[in-house]
Amino acid sequence: MIISPSLLACDFLNIEAELECFKDFKDTWFHLDIMDSHFVPNLTFGHPIVKLISKKTEIPLDAHFMVSNPEFFIDTFKDFNIHNFTFHIESTEKTLELIKKAKKIYPSVGISLKPKTPLTAVTDEMLKELDLILIMSVEPGFGGQSFIEESYARVEYFNKLKTNYPNLMIQVDGGVSNKNAKKLQESGANNLVAGSYIFKDGPLTYKNKIESLRR
Ligand code: DX5
Ligand code: ZN
């Protein structure tokens, strides 16, 4: 089980110290929420910040693009040591083409689905190329929202497809906490993103919070 703390919830004035807190943790990725105030209403951070973060940590970077033009970001994030590049299936008509393009650059490529997007939008052709499916368990755009219960069934749908795609990673993002982590894991999730749950009580609790999501 990979746990991906979402830096959206960290202390932005002390990012370097925040990164440092996780340096000895195993099976941890840093989740970066890139929002463009177009695909989603909110705006977060982009190239300069991610570039600086990439120089300060060895932990794999997991970039989640909530943007209207993912192709621009596939082209322009390639020097930032991104391990996993995820973009939204709703953000482009060229999903398969862009997955193939991203696969040439990034070690891992994912597609994200908003809570109401039909699961059948993800085709076999896409699954053959993909490393990761990101099931959004809140509407993308903001941290701190409540987990949508229908997400378990959506995770199970992809878990069943693992007979054909055994290496597919199933990630869940939005409202993840110790209240739903166990059931998510039982449904087939093997990568949990958590922002407010991990960060809200400060650095001394990060380790326990992460362990509580793995249990
Ligand atoms: C929401 C983002 C999430 C967010 C999760 O659009 O994609 O990654 O940071 O935050 P929490 O865990 O607080 O719901
Ligand atoms: Zn995210």
pLDDT digit string, tens, across residues 125-151: 999 999 999 999 999 999 999 999 999
Using CA atoms, how far apart are residues 170 and 111, in angstroms rounded to an integer?
10
| Ligand in closest contact with the CA of 195 | 1
**pLDDT tens string 188-199:** 999 999 999 999
Please report the pLDDT score of residue 77 as a whole number. Answer: 98
Q: How far is the CA of 166 from the centre of ligand 2 (A)?
A: 23
Ligand 1 binding pocket includes 173 (Cβ within 6 Å): yes
Whole-model pTM? 0.98
Query: Any catalytic annotation for residue 173?
Result: yes
**159 in Cβ contact with 188 (< 8 Å):** yes
DSSP conformation class of 104: T
pLDDT at site 174: 98
Q: What is the mean pLDDT of residues 57-80?
A: 98
Instruction: Write down the catalytic residue from 33, 36, 62, 131.
Output: 33
pLDDT of 215 over the 90 cut: no
- Show the tokens assigned to 105: 């650059």
The two three-digit tokens of residue 184, written as one number: 């998510």
Q: Which two tokens stand for residue 73?
A: 């970001």
Give me the mean pLDDT over the 77-105 stretch.
Answer: 98
How confident is the model over 14-68, as pLDDT tens digits? 999 999 999 999 999 999 999 999 999 999 999 999 999 999 999 999 999 999 9
User: What's the rounded mean pLDDT across residues 180-207?
Assistant: 98
Tokens of 152: 């378990």
The residue from 36, 62, 131, 173 that is catalytic is 173
Ligand nearest the Cα atom of residue 114: 1
Binding site membership of 3 for ligand 1 (Cβ less than 6 Å): no
CATH code of the domain containing 204: 3.20.20.70
For residue 63, the ligand closest to its alpha carbon is: 2
Tell me if 195 CB under 6 Å of ligand 1: yes
Type of residue found at 76: T
Report CA(29)–ligand 1 centroid distance (Å).
14
Q: For the chain, how long is the longest CA-to-CA vector?
A: 45
Q: Which residues surround ligand 2, an ion (CB under 5 A)?
A: 33, 64, 173
Domain that holds residue 175: 2-214
Query: b/e for 5-43, b at 16 or more Cβ within 10 A?
Result: bbbbbbeeeebeebbebbeeeeebbbbbbbbbeebbeee
Domains identified in the chain, total number: 1
pLDDT at 148: 98
- Which pLDDT tens digit goes with each residue over 97-133? 999 999 999 999 999 999 999 999 999 999 999 999 9
| The ligand 1 atom nearest the CA atom of 198 | 12
Task: Establish whether 124 is a catalytic residue.
Answer: no
